[in-house]
Amino acid sequence: MTTLLRRIAVAGALATAVLLLPPPAQAQAGFGLRTGYSIDPDQFYFGAHVGVGPLVSRLWFRPNIEIGVGSNVTTIAINAELAYWFPTKSAWKPYLGGGPALNI
Supply the DSSP string of the chain, one letter for each residue. --HHHHHHHHHHHHHHHHHHPPPGGGSSSEEEEEEEEETTTTEEEEEEEEE-EEEETTEEEEEEEEEEEETTEEEEEEEEEEEEEPP-SSS---EEEE--EEE-
Average pLDDT, the chain: 82
* Angstrom distance (rounded) from CA 5 to CA 13: 12
For the entire predicted model, the pTM comes to 0.63
CB within 8 A of 87, min separation 6: which ones? 58
pLDDT of residue 38: 86
pLDDT of residue 10: 65
Domain boundaries along the sequence of the chain? 3-103
Residues of the chain with pLDDT under 70: 1-5, 7-28
